[in-house]
């Protein structure tokens, strides 16, 4: 079985570096003060720069589970300078429905994302079937992806409880997407 992680991705696509840094500090501090992650960074995640290992009380609080003794088992913050796309990785998309015409454009979606990624700013993305341009975040994706410059990664943690996601969301004070990925 490979590793998997859940990323909580803010809904906003553009979050500048100063705000990213402040958000990272606030969220890591909050998790540490609650005793859900260790104080020091270690090699417990595949996130660049390392992360903080979950504590037993953190496992229980966030996912109602217990530490299975995995070496990769922690919290990391993924930041992007330009645009960030958080995908489900292994397995890819099942479907991508256009918010305007409702048709499945999954087979075009990787190219659409790559055009969006290369473009300046955060332009709306044209549906190849109906021509309507929509915000990339409004395409209905299964599994869900996130589009933001920052994401909070939970490595090899079982499904996060809805209560914890709600609690987490209250901290940045904005909606987050729950993106599941397997590598």
Q: Provide the binding-site residues for Zn ion, judged by CB under 5 A.
A: 98, 100-101, 127, 129-130
On whether the CB atoms of residues 139 and 87 are closer than 8 A, the answer is no
Q: How far is the CB of 145 from Zn ion (least distance, A)?
A: 18
Looking at the Cβ atoms of 79 and 137, the one nearer to Zn ion is 137
Which candidate, 39, 30, 38, 59, places its Cα nearest to that of 170?
30
State the nearest-atom distance from the C-beta of 140 to Zn ion, in Å.
11
Nearest to 103 by CA among 95, 111, 91: 95
Nearer to Zn ion among residue 8 and residue 98 (C-beta): 98
For Zn ion, the closer of residues 133 and 170 by Cβ is: 133
Residue 47 C-alpha from the chain's centroid: 12
- Closest Cα partner for 155 from 9, 52, 1? 52
Nearer to Zn ion, 101 or 171 (CB): 101
The CB-of-144 to Zn ion minimum distance in angstroms stands at 19
Least separation in angstroms between CB 122 and Zn ion: 19
Rounded Cα distance, 177 and 9, in Å: 5
Residue with tokens 């015409």: 101
């Amino acid at each position: 079985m490979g590793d998997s992680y859940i990323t909580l991705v803010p809904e906003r696509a553009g979050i500048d570096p100063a705000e990213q840094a402040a958000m990272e500090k606030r969220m890591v501090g909050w998790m540490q003060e609650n005793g859900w992650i260790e104080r020091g960074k270690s090699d417990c995640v595949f996130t660049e720069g390392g992360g903080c290992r979950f504590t037993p009380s953190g496992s229980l609080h966030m996912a109602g589970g217990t530490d299975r003794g995995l070496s990769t088992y922690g919290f990391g913050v993924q930041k992007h300078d330009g645009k960030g796309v958080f995908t489900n990785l292994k397995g890819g998309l099942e479907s991508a429905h256009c918010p305007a015409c409702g048709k499945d454009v999954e087979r075009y979606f990787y190219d659409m994302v790559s055009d969006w990624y290369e473009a300046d700013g955060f332009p709306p993305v044209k549906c190849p079937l109906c021509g309507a341009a929509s915000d990339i975040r409004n395409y209905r994706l299964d599994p869900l992806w996130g589009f933001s410059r920052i994401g909070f990664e939970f490595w090899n943690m079982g499904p996060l409880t809805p209560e914890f996601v709600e609690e987490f969301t209250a901290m940045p004070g904005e909606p987050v997407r729950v993106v599941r990925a397997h590598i």
